[in-house]
Amino acid sequence: MALSSTRTNASRAAVLAFLGTHGAASRAEIARSLEVSPALVTKLARELLADQLIIELTHSPSRGGRPAQLIGLASHDIGAIGVKVAPDHLTMVEVGIDGEVTHVETRDFEASSPHALATLVTAVSEVVKLSTRRTQLGIGVGIPGSVQEQSEHSVNSTQLGWTNVPLGSALQSATNLPVLIDNNVSALALAESLYGTGRGHDHFLVVTIGSGVGAGIVSHGSIIRGHSGNAGEIGHIPVTTDGPVCNCGATGCLEAAIKEESLVRQARSAGVIGPHDGIGALEVRGAAGDPRAQEVFANAGRLFGRAVAGVVNTLDPEIVIVLGEGAASWPLWAAGFEPAFRPALIPQKRGIQVVVEGWQDDRWAQGAACLILSTPFDDAGVSGKQGHLIRERLTTHAGAPS
Amino acid sequence: MALSSTRTNASRAAVLAFLGTHGAASRAEIARSLEVSPALVTKLARELLADQLIIELTHSPSRGGRPAQLIGLASHDIGAIGVKVAPDHLTMVEVGIDGEVTHVETRDFEASSPHALATLVTAVSEVVKLSTRRTQLGIGVGIPGSVQEQSEHSVNSTQLGWTNVPLGSALQSATNLPVLIDNNVSALALAESLYGTGRGHDHFLVVTIGSGVGAGIVSHGSIIRGHSGNAGEIGHIPVTTDGPVCNCGATGCLEAAIKEESLVRQARSAGVIGPHDGIGALEVRGAAGDPRAQEVFANAGRLFGRAVAGVVNTLDPEIVIVLGEGAASWPLWAAGFEPAFRPALIPQKRGIQVVVEGWQDDRWAQGAACLILSTPFDDAGVSGKQGHLIRERLTTHAGAPS
DNA sequence: ACTCCTTTGTTCACTCGTGAAGTTACTGTA
DNA sequence: TACAGTAACTTCACGAGTGAACAAAGGAGT
């Protein structure tokens, strides 16, 4: 076994990952989805069967031809760890290879503390240790910021106040698992394309609203990261000529105008909520029918709508997915969003579908875990050495108990 | 030969195209640029030498190791035709495989005429017939609009008033050459990445100003086209809440505010130029120092700067290239552009390079020709059957005269 | 029951491309 | 002048993946 581990056999891993994310499938279906020849899938399936990594299931009813022989994973006891790093808390999840979250854990965290890195490593290590799953493929981390050298170590994030923090190598040496780190919204987009609404769409946009504003861009089936990993920073699209000064230094940024903190400030100074009330109180007011509260959201919706329209015109996605803490109060946003958004699109795009997803807090962390689960599909090998390790774990340790 | 033509040998074509676009190079350099192994280049070079498609040139001086043996194309008498289709005129060029324009021809054209298609086909056929070049790889066409099914036939363009015009098949059957059609700005971006400033950059933005406003997006080395081929329509980013009604039906579109026609209208109603003067007169006024004319351009520059800043924040390109008829008067635009653009960027991007290219009118058509010249590099085979034909022509007909 | 059609899955010969190891031909240094 | 260092190129054995042809297993119409 030690000798044969040199050959990584990328497509073996891809087949396993496909069966995990998609569920049982026929050889023909796998070949079509992974865009390889049926001949290859036959060969791979034979090998994987011999290694007891997959099993043959029932035949599915024929649709005018030979009925398909479904194959599925021999063991679903495979998964990954996902970590969301926020300025004030950590969320860690364990997910199965089918994307389902099986364990959630949230802890307070102070990103600006000098012990932040050590605290994070300890917390993640504990989650790894506590896991009952037989095989963990790796640890995915989503951060509000960018990563130098995709899949490599150092992390930069203005929101966290981190510059060149060697998060990757620290986690890796502590847990002995492969580690991938990426921007949190990009990770979310990845999750949508594997398990969510983005499935089957080659071009879509994930936009998030909440404590910040961001976008994950999927084009031609893969994530757009940009030259320095900063793609998707739609929070700093200029939308007004006045408005508050953003912490990026500019005036009129989308984010400065519509992030939660800003909505709260507007509402407080207008006397809609008390000087110590937060976004929750504002939402309650709006839902209860207070027109001044509703106007705060509607105004944010209008600005957001115009900005997103610009992005849609520029990138031509097939659908737009709205996510984030703020999505919970979308009905309030929508009053301003829809009338601002649609008319500002080019005519061909005015019918574009906008999907608002119910928000669960663990979604970010689940997205981070998808960094791991999606590597086997990464033809270009962007994930480099870590990706290699993940594929190796998948094709080696994922067999049925013998 | 007929038998061996079944194997297309994609990388043979890629090597030839690389030598054409890049100039003579060593095997090692080719391997690095095309991201293949040196072993493969050795093998391919041997074959191509045997077929007399390439020749060995001088050794280049060593830089501390074995000196590189340069190889170059046996014949540079290879080229392509590029066609720019505008509402009122056609520009056709012949370019060499090195990207140089060797022949230009412009004709009046009425896109809305019922005979438009026939006229276009005749004009292009004549250029093909007149060509003295021994091998034409194909015909590239750039249109202001989108193409259904990349590399296939039918064309949609609101600017031309065309819906599902079978331009591709018409040109192909008339000339018996491979034909590729694409959006004109995307084609321009392709030209920049092959022969221009974009060379060596994996992420850049080409923005054009003039009778319209558009963008070509290159990300991770390839053109972003979007779900329905409409990516890059930055002309309809909303930038003002008032402003003239755009012909897309919306109010406040970038294009409606800053296209030439709009600048002229503003200048006329302000009395800066006479009621029958055009953009040329306005530029002369501005260059001569008329502050009112300068303000028209500066205002356009401001709007443009803010919009482009939003796009840069969203896509994180490495450089921005400004092109188009309007680029000739860039100094006038710049007065408004720079102070609006830089501060609106996220801090990491404030140093981004903006390159303004001197404008030649045949540039669009040259870009279109690059659709043909770039196909050998198209790994994914987006260009489909036509791409196949082009590669075949390149590896078959491109030999030295025997 | 028979034929035709459709779709799935398999076999086989073959090409493309690679990694590893070695060879060639220079520059720079003791 | 010998030696190490460096980079370009070559050879070779091997694996991954494919196209083409075929076999298998059903449905639908007659």
**In chain B, pLDDT over 90 holds for what percent of residues?**
67
User: What's the pLDDT at B292?
Assistant: 94
Q: Do A248 and B347 touch (CB under 8 A)?
A: yes
Predicted confidence (pLDDT) per residue in A194-232, tens digit = 999 999 899 999 999 998 999 999 998 899 999 998 999
**B203 contact A CB<8A:** yes
| Interatomic CA distance for residues A238 and A193, integer angstroms | 29
Cα A386–chain centre separation: 18
| Interatomic CA distance for residues B289 and B356, integer angstroms | 21
**A382 contact B CB<8A:** no
Q: Is B372 helix (H, G, I), strand (E, B) or coil?
A: helix
- A78-189+363-397: CATH homologous superfamily? ATPase, nucleotide binding domain (3.30.420.40)
Residue A114's alpha-carbon distances to A110, A122, B101, B337, in angstroms, are: 9, 14, 60, 42
Indicate where chain B has its CATH 3.30.420.40 domain(s).
Answer: 78-189+363-397, 198-356
Show which of residues 129-168 on chain B sit within 8 Å of chain A, judged by CB atoms. Answer: 158
Q: Do A343 and B310 touch (CB under 8 A)?
A: no
| Tokens, residue A35 | 């865009």
Q: Tell me the helix, strand and coil percentages in chain A, rounded to 5.
A: 45, 20, 35
A320 CA → D4 C1’, Å: 61
Position of tokens 């998964």? A79
Asked whether the predicted pLDDT for residue B82 surpasses 80, the reply is yes
Phi–psi pair at B87, nearest 5 degrees: -55, -35
Range B16-33 average pLDDT? 94
Asked whether the predicted pLDDT for residue B262 surpasses 50, the reply is yes
Predicted confidence (pLDDT) per residue in A116-148, tens digit = 999 999 999 999 999 888 789 999 999 998 887
Amino acid at B106: T
Structural contact between residues B210 and B260, judged by C-beta atoms closer than 8 angstroms:
yes
Helices (H) and strands (E) in chain A, counts: 13, 16
**B360 contact A CB<8A:** no
Kindly report the bases of strand D lying within 7 A of a protein C-beta atom: 5-13, 15-21, 23-28
Task: Identify the CA nearest to B223 among candidates B46, B352, B28, B371.
Answer: B371
- Scanning B73-202, the segments in alpha helix (DSSP H) are 116-130, 167-175, 184-195
Q: Do B224 and A220 touch (CB under 8 A)?
A: yes
Asked whether the predicted pLDDT for residue B30 surpasses 70, the reply is yes
Cα B107–chain centre separation: 20
- Using an 8 Å CB-CB cutoff, list chain B residues near A316: 225-233
Task: Identify the CA nearest to A146 among candidates A131, A160, A130.
Answer: A160
Domain topology for A200-356 = Nucleotidyltransferase; domain 5 (3.30.420)
Mean pLDDT of chain B: 89
Structural contact between residues B241 and B233, judged by C-beta atoms closer than 8 angstroms:
no
CB pairs under 8 A between A and B: 143
Task: Identify the CA nearest to A160 among candidates A183, A192, A189.
Answer: A183
Asked whether the predicted pLDDT for residue A158 surpasses 90, the reply is no
Indicate where chain A has its CATH 3.30.420.40 domain(s).
Answer: 78-189+363-397, 200-356
Q: Is the CB of B5 under 7 A from strand D?
A: no
| Interatomic CA distance for residues A279 and B7, integer angstroms | 64
Predicted confidence (pLDDT) per residue in A358-374, tens digit = 877 788 999 999 999 99
The continuous run of DSSP H or E covering B336 comes out as helix B330-341
Q: How far is A97 from chain B (nearest CA, A)?
A: 29
The CATH label, of 3.10.105.10, 3.40.50.300, 3.40.50.460, 3.30.420.40, for the domain at B198-356 is: 3.30.420.40
Question: Residue A83, class by beta-carbon neighbours within 10 Å (0-12 exposed, 13-18 middle, 19+ buried)?
Answer: buried
- pLDDT grade for B179, boundaries at 50, 70 and 90: very high
Asked whether the predicted pLDDT for residue A3 surpasses 60, the reply is no
Q: Do B316 and A248 touch (CB under 8 A)?
A: no
Q: Do B315 and A226 touch (CB under 8 A)?
A: yes
The verdict on domain A4-73 having CATH code 3.40.50.880 is: no
- pLDDT grade for B8, boundaries at 50, 70 and 90: low
Q: How far is B143 from chain A (nearest CA, A)?
A: 17
Q: How far is B293 from chain A (nearest CA, A)?
A: 23
The continuous run of DSSP H or E covering A81 comes out as strand A78-85
| Interatomic CA distance for residues A314 and B192, integer angstroms | 19
Indicate where chain B has its CATH 1.10.10.10 domain(s).
Answer: 4-73
Phi–psi pair at A14, nearest 5 degrees: -65, -40
